[in-house]
Structures are given as structure tokens and as C-alpha cells.
Amino acid sequence: MVETTPPVLELRGITKRFPGVLANDRVDFDLRKGEVHALLGENGAGKSTLMNILYGLYRPDEGEIRLNGAPVTIDSPHAAIAAGIGMVHQHFMLIPVMTVAENIVLAAEPRRGVLLDTSAAERRVRELADQFKFHIDPHALIRDITVGQQQRVEILKALYRQADILILDEPTAVLTPQEAIELVEILKRLVAEGMSVIFISHKLNEVLEIADRVTVLRRGKKVDTIPTAGATEASLARMMVGREVLFRVDKEPAKPSEVLLDVENLHVFDDRGLEAVRGVSFHVRAGEIVAIAGVDGNGQTELIDAITGLRRASEGRIRVGAEDLTHGSAHTFLEQGVGHIPEDRQRRGLVLEFTLAENLVLHDYAKEPFSKLGFLNPRTWLAYGRRLLTEFDVRGGTERTRASALSGGNQQKVVIAREVSRDPRVLIAAQPTRGLDVGAIEFVHRRLIEERDEGRAVLLVSLELEEVLSLADRILVIYEGSIVGEFDPSATEEELGFAMTGGRQPTALV
Amino acid sequence: MSDLDEQPQAEPGGYAPSVAERLAFYQRAGGVITPLLTVVLAFAAGGIVVLATGHNPFKTYKAIWDGTGLNWFFQFGHHHIDIPFTNHQVFFWWNTDTNALTAYNLTQTVLLTTTLILTGLAVAFAFRCGLFNIGGQGQYITGAIMAVWVGSSFAHMSHGLHVVFAIAAAILGGAAIAAVAGFLKAAVGAHEVITTIMLNWIAYWTGSFLVGRGGPLQNTTDVSIPISPDIAPGAHLPAFWGNPALQALDVGFFIALGALVIFWLTLNRTTLGYQVRAVGFNPEAARYGGINVARNYVYAMAISGAFAGLGGAVDILGWEYHIGVLDIQVSNIGFIGIAVALLGRNTALGVGLSALLFGALVNGTSTRGLDPNVFPPELASNLTLMIQALVLLFVGADVLILYLWQARKKLGRRRPAPETAEAVT
């Protein structure tokens, strides 16, 4: 039945060139009324460019856009909104100090004279929220509500402007699993009301779950458009990457030897002064990967900070090899051979304004040969950078490129290159594959196993159970700041999920 | 492979970017074009105001230009010039007469530029560490007081040593008072904008007390005048150009040029500079990288203060020779340094050029520089303040400038650049 519905939107032969890059190469795309159509591709495949063209942010070099069969020109977001196209960006465009209602009506406010008609605005917002069963308080300030709720505000903003086509740019990247489930329900209600949704993603499972059809892009070209019925994660991954992707990394059994990281009865406070880590003890041996699994916000961040010298432990002991580093600074930990792939590569792992060469020497700029007697020797950095970028297959830039210009996957490769090439004894990887596409995930996983086999002690902290199960030799589950159980990798997701929620029935797991 | 899907990440919707972040963005996107455009816009707006007062803006700007003395470089033609150490004259295609009014004006402009380079660097260096140093004025005063103190004491010290000693004291003084702000930021998180403003007042009143009537640094020849004694001749910076009877140009200018080089070298070629830049761009990443962020705040402020203190020293040792309460209280050279740094985008070359611009502007619109028949100088000095304020305003309104620039580009090429498209949405 879906097959006979005419397309509400058609993109024909869209080509977009940027200096030196063909971002979109004669891409066709069509959207039917009442469907969720996923746009799938690796980082840098041209998904966002295509949608920015549709939303009027870029102008195509070739090709045309048709709405309900008639060709249209969309040369600004304004024109896109007028044509009934709404877009929810990955980074929300909301004003934190204003209320939900004020944000939604912004630029199209109901007025009474020259003043904003606050009550009318709130009434309209409430009506819309009720119609689509959004649970949201129009009076709340944006800065006080969760990210998931902010996203709903963005969706309401589009609905308020009478969009009937909604573009969502990687909407689940910022959501907790529970919020992701709620988003799926919202999208189902929207399409039931006759809306059409374009859903940009690189996560295979959610595409299969949410979308009716999926269009796969690879390096700016459309690979195919297929119905999700009958597709599998493996088949989509093959289309996306262009080759078979191994979801489970092959690995030899671990050969653990001496203890390299030893944590005893660690207590750590978070920024608000609450005890986030409550008496954690564990150890990691050379040649094994120990994973810490848990739902986000159960003390993982504070634990990692403490065992890398970025946060003081209030109690307990941390030893790396034979050294007691409990009161060491970040510098001491680095000197003692602790490598750290941080949770947030953009906020912490990289200085985005620095070149890749500068970023690669972030820990060692003060050492020979990178500097001598306090004077830098940038030439050695460039050579070093070039070598590492080749070795770790970083694409999209040279050693002189600014880190901000790289895609997320390549940025992560730079971080990994830096940490691994310092030859650390202990490697701490915090959510190392967050936001990466399948190809990059495979790279990171393989690399972590290699590092284990080199005889490093690897501590993996991850929210992704699948990742934990496929990489770890031992699994510790953290819940409310305590280690509540140890499992071996033959455990099932259900067992882990049960422990991760403190023994309650798992609900928040996708 | 293309990476256009992942634009450089904008701030996640939650917070307004800090001054330093906005500036960093401005630096990335603007290149050389935005500062130039900023200046052109500021001058255009200034011209409109001149027009509104019933004067001809073109004639006024020409008179200001003449007042700067920069026209000295363009006096081509047939001139008689002196052959040094003789009474003979020869024909030359360029008038090099240093007794002419233009030469005198030029000297004044270069003297101002010298100081502005140093107070500009004081703001720029801190900015590169993510700190907004409003305290250039207080650091400058501290340096000047230190130079006066050392310069007027130790009268029997040998010439070279006395100069070096006075400069070192001024640098240390400026560094010390600025380091207080850095230390407060590092230790208790006190915002440097607040603390440096407070320190400005401390320097202002301490300086006024020291050289004021009955103050320990007041001159002893006429105790009714609140002014310091003159520094010993042995502490003067040697002059190298112009007529010493009027006012000659001293080697302080070369000290300022040297400071530009040191600024660049420190930031780009030392491990300290690497740390400062890392902290300035992303303190969290710097901390993760093993850099002691708190310590860098102190160092960066101290170095900033050293530049401003040096500015005070070259003024005192170069041509002022003493400092009075009035000098302290009317001086605003440290504040103009903020505009210099912002317009110069906190780079060595940029600070040098914008110091020249502001130095010329201040001198060209001064009562002695500007031809009173064309435009009343008492209005003209307000014009300087206006142009300065407009530059600051436009630097603050970076996004607006970028938008205008992009709109122009769009008209020209019908093709927005990918990275600036983000900025205006």
C-alpha cells in the first residue's frame, strides 16, 4: 500500500562540489507521505550536505528539488520552512534562558500589538504538545530541561511552523537509551498523523527499527534505496562501507600476566560534591581487556578522571605497576605510562584549533626531540605527525590540518594514534567508539585487541553492551558508584543489563 | 574522502560562548579581511559623524593624515638636504629634514605606536591564554613608577647598566601586579576582568600617592608640584632620529619591535607558548594533556604585565623622564592597548600594525597634530575615541562582520563557503 503513495518530495540528480571534494554526486532521493526514510552513510558520506541543500543552507551545483511534483527553489532555511520542511539539527538551536513556549514561537510569535502574546503562545504550544502527546511544560526554561526534552522542543518548533516534512540529523546521538525509545514513539505518532520524516543516521539497528525505507550513501554517491523489511545490519553495513564488516572481532584468548593497574577502595566526589565513586576496587593485568559496563552516570566519568589524575580521589589507592599514584597529577600519570582515550574527544581529547601535528605531541611537546631546552622543534612534529597519520590511516587532512576539520572517526583515530604511540603500560579507553560509524568502530576494536596482545593492560569503559561483550576478557558492572558484579564474556546481555540496573528489570536498554 | 558531514562543532545549544571563544572563532574565520573591513567601517561611520557636524569628512581625514606625520614619507621632489657633519647641502629627491613639522609629528606618532605595541601585546598575550587582561593600564603605570624610581635613584650607575636595571625593574613591577590577577584566577577562580580592573585602581592610587604631594617618590626641588624627580641622564634611552631640542625618537621603538619578535617566539617556539595556546583554546584538553592550567594563568598574566610594564619604562626612559599625578590620572594608553590587541587579532604582526593605526590616529587628531582650520581638534580627539569604540564594537559584533562579508561573497560568486555558512545560521 505504501508503494502507491506519490512522493511528497523528490531530489533529482543533486550534485554539490566543495573545493577539492565532490560531496554529492548526482544523488536521487524521494520521500513518500507518511513514511520514515532513513539516510544512512559513514561519517563524510555526504548525508548532511544533502540535507543542508534541502534545507536551503547550501545551494546545489546541479539537480532539482520537487515538492509534490512541482520543482521548487530552496535558497534559504526561510524558504525551506515556508515550503513545509523542518529540520532538527544535531546541535540544538535553542535559547537557554527563554522558556519552551518562547523558543517554539520565536520568529513567528503571536502578537498583541507590539508585545508577545504570551498566553496565546503557551496555548498554541500546549495544543500542539497534546495533539502529539509530548510531555513538556511550556513554562520551563530550556536550560532546566533534559537534552531529550530539548529535542522535543525542536520538533515542536518545526510542527508549530506547520512542517509536514521533518529532517532529523542523527537525533539519537545525544539521547539516553530511554529517551531514544521515546523518540521512536514520537516519530511513529508523527507519521500516523501524515507527516513524512527523513532520518539521518549511521546506526544500523535504529535505522532498521524506525525507518520504512533506507537510502545508503557512500562517498557522495547513492548506493541504493531499499525497504528496511528484509534488510539486516550486515547487509546495510556492507552497502555503507562497501565491504563485509566484522561485528565481532576475532581474538585469541587473553594471556594476562602481572597486574599493571591496581585500584583499591576508591572514593571520588563529582562536581556537585556528591560521592560518585563509592569504594571501587579492581585490577587490570598486562595482556587483558577489562571492561566496565554500566548505564551512563553511575560514576564511570569520575572513576576514569581519578585513575588518570584529572580528579582527586578522596579515599583509596591507585597503583600503576609498582608506583603509588594516588595523589599524582595528570602529568604524573602520563609519565608513568597511562594512556587515556577520553570520553569526549572534542572537549578533552583534542585542541580543535591546533593542527594534527600539534595535537599528536600534546603530552610530549616538552620532551626531546620535540623540543630542546624549552624551545619547540616543530619540524620534528611534522615528521612524527606524518608518520602517525599514515600508520593509523587518518584521512581528511595532513599533519598541518586543524583537528576541527576532521570527521569524528578520524579525530578519534588521531587520539588513539597519540595515546598508543606513547607505548603506555595501561590504556584507558572511555567510550572509544561513541559517534563513530561501523568502519571506524571496527578499526578501534581491532586496535584495542592489538594493544592487549602487545602486553598492555587495557581498561575499557563503555555504555555499549555489544562492544563490552565482544572485546572484554573480564567484565565489571558498575552501578551507583560501586562494582556490583564481575562477569566473563560468555555472559548474556540480559544478565549484564540486570546487574547494570541494580538488579531491577532492565528497561533502559536498546 | 570528504569530511563535510562533520562540520567543526558549534557550541551545543546550552550556553553562550565566552569572550575568548568568540574571539578565537573570529580569528579562525576572519583572516585579514575582517580587521580591515572593521577599520573601513569604523572610518566610514566616523566620516558620517564628521559630516553631521558640518565639516567635510575627506578634508578632515586628510588633515588628520597630515597631523600623523606619516606624510613625511611621501615628500618627494627636489629638496636641499644637509650632508651630515658638514655645512654643505645637496639636492635629494626626498626631504629628510628632521626640523620640519611633519618630522616632529612623525616622531610623536612613532612614540605613541611604541607604547601601544607594548600595551597591545599585554592584552594579546593574555588573550592567547584565554584571559581578558583589562589591567594593561595599571601594569603600565606600575612599570612607569618602577622606572622612575630606579631611574632617579642610583645616579652614579654606569649608563648602560642603569637603563637595563630600570627596564628590568619596570618589567618585574608590571609582571608582579598582573600575576596577582593570574594567581587569584588560578587559586580561587576570581575572574580576571574584575581583578585586573581592581588592580588598575590600586596602581592608579598607589602611583598618585607615591609621586603626589608629600609622597615618598615626589621631587624635592618644588614640593608644591605633585610630580616625581627627573631620572638621571644616565638612565635615558639614547635618541637616534630627529631634533633632541624638540623631541627626538629614542631607541624605545626598537625595543617595542623586539618585543613583537619575543611575543611571536614565545608563543610559537617555546614549550611555554605551546602550553599557553593550548590552555587558551581548550583548558580542559590542556589539563588532560598534562598541562598545569592554573600555573599557566599566572605565567601568562605575568608575561602580559611584563609587556605593559616595559611600555611604562620606554616612555619614562625614552622621553618623559618623570611622572606626575596628572600623567597617571589622564593616561589611557593601556586601555587603547585593548583595542590594539583586538583589532590586531592577538598576533604579533597584527598588534604592530594596529598599534601604528591607533598611534597615528591619536596623534593625528590631537590638538597639536590637527590643523584647527579644517576640523576643531577638541572634536577630533572625540573622533579618535569614537573610531576606537567602533572598532571594539565591530570586533564584538564579529558575526555581523562575517555576515556582511559573506553576503558580499554570495552576491559575487553565488556560492557560500562551507565553514562560514555555519556561522550565520
With 0-12 CB in 10 A as exposed, 13-18 as middle and 19+ as buried, what is A192? exposed
The answer for residues whose C-beta is within 8 angstroms of residue B51's C-beta and 6 or more apart is B57
**pLDDT at res. A106:** 82
Q: Which of A144-158, B64-78, B90-104, B394-408 ranks highest by mean pLDDT?
A: A144-158
User: Shortest CA distance to B217 belongs to which of B281, B282, B150, B266?
Assistant: B150
Q: Which residue has the higher pLDDT, A505 or B171?
A: B171
Residues 15 to 44 of B: which have CB under 8 A from any A CB?
Answer: 15-16, 24, 28
Neighbours of A294 (CB within 10 A): 26
pLDDT at A3 over 60: no
Task: State pLDDT tens for residues A452-494.
Answer: 999 999 999 998 888 898 899 999 999 889 999 999 888 887 7
Residues 6+ apart with CB under 8 A from A130: none
Tens-digit pLDDT profile for residues A334-377: 999 999 999 888 889 999 999 999 999 999 999 989 999 999 99
Count Cβ neighbours within 10 Å for each residue of B113-139 and write b for 16 or more, e otherwise: bbbbbbbbbbbbbbbbbbbbbbbbbbb
Q: Pick the range with the lowest mean pLDDT from A118-132, A393-407, B92-106, B231-245.
A: B92-106
Written as one letter, the residue type at B373 is N
Question: Which of B12, B271, B425 has the CB atom closest to A374's CB atom?
Answer: B271
pLDDT score, position B96: 64
Tell me which of A323-332, A406-415, B94-103 is least confident.
Answer: B94-103
Give tens-digit pLDDT for B283-342: 999 999 999 999 999 999 999 999 999 999 999 999 999 999 999 999 999 999 998 998
pLDDT score, position A18: 75
Q: How many CB pairs under 8 A join A and B?
A: 149
Q: Is the dihedral of CA A36, A89, A77, A18 positive or negative?
A: negative
CB spacing of B271 vs A143 below 8 angstroms: no
Asked whether the CA dihedral A202, A207, A208, A211 is positive or negative, the reply is: negative
Q: Which residue has the cell 502578537?
A: A111
Q: Which three cell numbers stand for residue B269?
A: 617556539
Which 3 state secondary structure label does DSSP give B326?
Answer: helix
Per DSSP (E only), the strands in A202-334 are 213-218, 221-227, 259-269, 275-285, 289-293, 313-320, 323-324
Q: Is A219 on the interface with B (CB under 8 A)?
A: yes
In this structure, the strands spanning A7-18 and A21-32 are antiparallel
Q: Say if B78 is an interface residue toward chain A (CB within 8 Å).
A: no
pLDDT digit string, tens, across residues B9-65: 333 333 444 444 555 555 555 567 777 878 888 888 888 988 888 888 888 888 888
At B368, which helix (H) or strand (E)?
A: none
Please give the grid coordinates belonging to residue A126: 500546549
User: Residue B153, class by beta-carbon neighbours within 10 Å (0-12 exposed, 13-18 middle, 19+ buried)?
Assistant: middle
Does residue B174 carry a pLDDT above 80?
A: yes
Sheet containing strand A482-487, edge to edge, reads: A338-341, A426-430, A457-462, A289-293, A474-479, A482-487
Q: In chain A, which residues have their Cβ closer than 8 Å to the Cβ of B268? A: 376
Q: Residue B411 — very low, low, confident or very high, per pLDDT cuts 50/70/90? A: low
> A residues 133-152 near B, CB within 8 Å?
142-143, 150
Q: Which of A50-64, A172-186, A189-203, B109-123 has the lowest mean pLDDT?
A: A172-186
Q: Which of A44-58, A267-281, B9-23, B235-249 has the lowest mean pLDDT?
A: B9-23
- The verdict on a CB contact (< 8 Å) between A57 and B421 is yes
CA dist A338 and A320 (Å) reads 8
Task: Round to whole Å and give the CA distance between A65 and A109.
Answer: 29
pLDDT, position A244: 72
Q: Is the pLDDT of residue A210 over 60?
A: yes
Q: Which helix (H) or strand (E) holds B321?
A: none
> Cell match 615628500: residue?
B75
Q: Which three cell numbers stand for residue B194?
A: 574584575
Residue in A closest to B29 by C-alpha:
A353
Residue located via cell numbers 626641588: B221
Per-residue pLDDT band for B81 (boundaries 50, 70, 90) equals low
Cβ–Cβ under 8 Å, residues A9 and A67: yes
Tell me which amino acid residue B264 is.
W
Average pLDDT of span B277-283: 94
Interface of A with B in 393-452 (CB under 8 A): 395-397, 404-408, 410
Residue B6 has pLDDT above 50, yes or no: no
The three cell numbers locating residue A392: 593509523
Interface of A with B in 2-21 (CB under 8 A): 18, 21
Asked if the C-beta of A201 comes within 8 angstroms of chain B's C-beta atoms, the answer is no
pLDDT at B156: 83
Q: Residue B423 and residue B8: Cα distance in Å, rounded?
A: 11
Contact A374 B288 (CB under 8 A): no
Q: What is the pLDDT of residue A120?
A: 84
Three-state secondary structure string covering A324-347: ECCCCCHHHHHHCCEEEECCCHHH
Q: Does B6 touch chain A (CB under 8 A)?
A: yes
**For residue B186, what pLDDT is reported?**
94
In 3D space, the residue among A210, A163, A161 whose CA is nearest the CA of residue A185 turns out to be A210
In chain A, residues 68-97 whose CB comes closer than 8 Å to chain B: 77, 91-94, 96
Which residues lie below 8 Å from residue B255, measured CB to CB, with a gap of 6+? B114, B167, B237, B310, B314
Name every chain A residue with its beta carbon within 8 A of the beta carbon of B8. 352, 404-405
* DSSP per-residue string spanning A118-136: HHHHHHHHHHHHHHTT---
Which of A45, A59, A96 comes nearest B14 by C-beta? A96
pLDDT tens digit string along A99-139? 888 888 887 777 777 777 788 888 888 888 888 888 888 88
Q: What is the pLDDT of residue B406?
A: 58
What three-state secondary structure class fits A350? coil
Between B1, B11, B284, which is nearest A219 by CB? B1
pLDDT score of B358 more than 80: yes
Quick one: pLDDT band at residue B237, thresholds 50, 70, 90? very high
**Listed ranges A118-127, B42-51, B142-151, B415-424; the one with the highest mean pLDDT:** B142-151
- CA distance to partner chain A, nearest, from residue B136 (Å): 27
Min Cα distance A494 → chain B (Å) is 34
Average pLDDT, stretch A434-447?
A: 85
B407 touches chain A (CB under 8 A): no
Chain mean position to CA B341: 7
Residue with cell string 587569584: B184
Distance CA A206, CA A200 (A): 11
Q: A144-173: per-residue pLDDT in tens? A: 887 788 888 999 998 888 889 999 988 887
Q: How many whole angstroms from its chain centre is CA A452?
A: 25
Q: Check whether B224 has a pLDDT greater than 60.
A: yes
* Mean per-residue pLDDT, A186-207: 88
- Helix orientation angle between B192-211 and B136-152, rounded to the nearest 10 degrees: 30
Higher per-residue confidence, A435 vs A136: A136
Residue A296 pLDDT > 50: yes
Rounded Cα gap, residues B332 and B119, in angstroms? 10
Which residue carries 578632515 as its cell?
A: B60
Per-residue HEC secondary structure of A158-219 comes to: HHHCCCCEEEEECHHHHCCHHHHHHHHHHHHHHHHCCCEEEEEECCHHHHHHHCCEEEEEEC
Mean pLDDT of chain B: 83
| Nearest chain B alpha carbon to A23 | B2
Contacts of A362 in chain B (CB under 8 A): 278, 285, 289-290
Q: Chain A partners of B289 at a C-beta cutoff of 8 Å?
A: 330, 351, 362-363
Residue B299 confidence (pLDDT): 97
Angstrom distance (rounded) from CA A356 to CA A382: 9
pLDDT at B77 > cutoff 90:
no
Please state the ipTM of this predicted complex.
0.78
Q: Residue B290 CB: number of other CB atoms within 10 A?
A: 22
Cα–Cα distance for residue pair B223/B209, rounded to 1 Å: 14
User: Residue A247's pLDDT is what?
Assistant: 65
Distance between CA atoms of A218 and A457, rounded to whole angstroms?
A: 36
Q: How far apart are CA B31 and CA B345, in angstroms?
A: 9
**B421 in contact with A, Cβ within 8 Å:** yes
Closest residue by Cα to residue A203 from A361, A4, A435, A460? A435
Cβ–Cβ gap A59/B28 under 8 Å: no
The grid coordinates listed for B277 are 595556546
